[in-house]
Amino acid sequence: MSDRVAKVVAKVVIEADGGSRGNPGPAAYGAVLRDAATGEVLAEDGTAIGVATNNVAEYRGLIAGLTLAAELAPEAEVEVRMDSKLVVEQMSGRWRIKHPDMVPLAQEAARLAPAGTAYTWIPREQNGHADRLVNEALDGLRSGVTVAGESDESLLAEVESARTEVPARGWAKPGGPPTTLILLRHGVTPHTLEKRFSGGLASANPPLSDDGRAQIRAAAEWLAPIADRIAAVVTSPVRRTVESAEIAAAVLGKEIAEEPGFAEMEFGAWDGLTFAEVGERFPGELERWLGSLDHAPGGGESFRTVQERVHAGLDRLLDRFHGRTVLVVSHVTPIKTLVARALDADLAAVFRMELAPASVSVVSFYDDGDDGAARGSLRLYNALPPARDPFDSSAW
């Protein structure tokens, strides 16, 4: 990070966290550096550290945050906010450091912290951004530092290259430019955060939360440099996707069209319930559903049923927007189904994909010139803006 330009800010806030699955077990830390005056995220770091305890991981998160502050805002006043009472009290000098593993970590943190650094305890629910970075690192979804404002050409490159490249493995005779779908998952809702089943048009249709709206705005602003390449915004007609599409369309200056084929799977009697609640109310049903492509919840849809209508929606979209690039705002199951279609993979591949809220994936479909069938190409999967909005606390 030594070649990065320092920011001129009066005060920064560090939000830090750490976690271990097993205590000790696989561990990671998360750290967020913000401009205290505006709340803007200046940088974030989420990194796995091998096997460690929760307390070690929390101290490593503090050290990571102080390192970001020292390199990016060396003249700024610093406030640290953590949900670890132990770290806050020990670094404030009110509690003794008794465990030998903590001593060198506390010493390193003290070395990095500028004079006058304040340490504030916050409830866990207020530390969601740092906590998300911990879990993303543990899940292998990220590693290392992301600095706001650093150029990220991957999205632009993938969309642009799709306009000119012949798809791999000899799918020859492309009939002109492909139809490219920029797939945007909706932002978080209260059901997302509580890990509740949330279906399509027949569901309770929870709205986006404030975090969800902020996530979508950040994703749309990331897409803004390629707005001139996007012909339209196509959305599932479900409330949370419509709200997401409205935010994105306003940022990009595009019209919105609805495609019912891209609505989320219907969960029927399970809608609005957690996994635990489904297990209690419908004994044995959850086990039959998990990993099955054909089993459907009572009153709901199977993955095969969803596949049929998603493919039908794709056919309509390819006809309407042939050879153009479209932003498609949809849900976990339809987006995974479209990715499997682009890869010509078995539908069971959806069980081996993870997809973050407000993430971006890019697929292109080419005409092969023989039987008229569109051949797919996956350009990008589950990508996130270089730095999320200040209130981002996405759940998986």
Task: Please answer whether residues 165 and 55 qualify as being in contact, where contact means their C-beta atoms are separated by less than 8 angstroms.
Answer: no
Helices within 139-284 (DSSP H only): 154-162, 190-193, 210-223, 239-252, 275-281
Return d(Cα 6, Cα 320) in angstroms, integer: 48
Give the pLDDT band (50/70/90) at residue 37: very high
Helices within the chain (DSSP H only): 54-72, 85-91, 102-112, 128-138, 154-162, 190-193, 210-223, 239-252, 275-281, 285-289, 303-320, 332-343
Q: Where are the domains of the chain?
A: 11-147, 154-383
Task: Please answer whether residues 73 and 12 qualify as being in contact, where contact means their C-beta atoms are separated by less than 8 angstroms.
Answer: yes
Mean pLDDT of 79-108: 95
Q: What does DSSP assign to residue 271? A: T
Mean pLDDT of 174-189: 86
Note the CATH number of domain 154-383. 3.40.50.1240
Return d(Cα 223, Cα 285) in angstroms, integer: 41
In this predicted model, which residue has the larger pLDDT, 239 or 374? 239
Mean pLDDT score of the chain, rounded to an integer?
Answer: 87
Point out the catalytic residue in the list 79, 158, 259, 264: 264
Point out the catalytic residue in the list 15, 136, 158, 186: 186
Return d(Cα 94, Cα 229) in angstroms, integer: 57
* Percent of the chain whose predicted confidence (pLDDT) is above 70: 87
Task: Please answer whether residues 56 and 48 qualify as being in contact, where contact means their C-beta atoms are separated by less than 8 angstroms.
Answer: no
Give the pLDDT band (50/70/90) at residue 217: very high
Q: Which residue, among 137, 141, 151, 325, has the nearest Cα to 228 in the 3D structure?
A: 325
pTM of the model: 0.59
Instruction: Specify whether 264 is catalytic.
Output: yes
- CATH 3.30.420.10: does it fit domain 11-147? yes
User: Do 154-383 and 11-147 fall under one CATH topology?
Assistant: no
